[in-house]
Amino acid sequence: MVRAPCCDKTGLKKGAWTPEEDRKLMAYVTRYGCWNWRQLPKFAGLQRCGKSCRLRWLNYLRPNIKRGNYTKEEEETIVSLHKTLGNRWSIISGKLPGRTDNEIKNHWHTNLSKRVKPNQPVSSEVMNEDSVSVGAPSKSDHTEKNVENFPPSSQEISCSELSSVSNDSVLGMNTVAEDCVSSMEIFQDSGSDFWDLPFLPDNNYNQDGYESLFLTEDGYMSFYASAYDADAIDWIQ
């Protein structure tokens, strides 16, 4: 079976993301969630592959992403986990709140791998699921969480980050889920049919970019403060 390309690449933009594209993606995901990455660019008004959008969101735009220098503890954790797990960056990132697998992978290749002796063997049992289960949730766990977090609506809503951001409670990375939920609840509050709404690309932020965004005490980001009523803001906070 030959797989079709993930998306029709003709006319799709590649390379670095512009602030405008970031705004569109962030606005859309924050407001509507990530119900289908492949379709998302179309609705968000982006000339990008869905995978590209997903990556950009997960690695850069997602709330609570920690950037900058790694602490000694973080580096020790990475080295230690890499010793037992190998290049399973997604699992390793699950143990480092706010760090993305891509970032950890880059950091490893540019810094940490040089410090670790190259002949250090990676245990073959790494590939054994049992040994990986150091708190690494299964995909079915994620599915269950999705079900819990997203009660049935007129159309099934999936928030795929839930599965990439593993072990939410441990990580403190449930922000994305909160985002999706908040998006839906706020939508529901608005009393209109979400799935019939056209994408409103530029109404909820100002011309200067992210100034409408803010972080609440809990680190939850809201995009709605200027566009919705006080009830929504109270809920977010």
Partner DNA sequence: AAATTACGCAACCGCCCGTCT
Partner DNA sequence: TAGACGGGCGGTTGCGTAATT
Q: Select 110 or 119, whichever has its Cβ closest to DNA.
A: 110
Q: Does 1 bind DNA (CB under 7 A)?
A: yes
Among positions 91, 157, 173, 213, the unique one binding DNA when judged by CB under 7 A:
91
Q: Does 6 bind DNA (CB under 7 A)?
A: yes
Among positions 64, 160, 175, 204, the unique one binding DNA when judged by CB under 7 A:
160
Q: Does 166 bind DNA (CB under 7 A)?
A: yes
DSSP secondary structure string for all residues of the chain: -PPPPSS--TT---SSPPHHHHHHHHHHHHHH--S-TTTHHHHHT--S-HHHHHHHIIIIISTT---SPPPHHHHHHHHHHHHHH-S-HHHHHHTSTT--HHHHHHHIIIIIHHHS-TTPPPPGGGGSHHHHTTTPPPHHHHHHHHHHHS---SS----THHHHS-SHHHHT-THHHHHHHHHHHHHHHHTS-GGGPPP-TTSSS-TTSGGG-EE-TTS-EES-TTTS-HHHHHHH-
CB of 6 to DNA, least distance (A): 6
Q: Does 168 bind DNA (CB under 7 A)?
A: no
Q: Interface with DNA by CB under 7 A: which residues?
A: 1, 3-4, 6, 9, 13-17, 34-39, 48-52, 54-56, 59-60, 67, 87-91, 101-103, 105-107, 109-111, 139-140, 143, 158, 160-164, 166
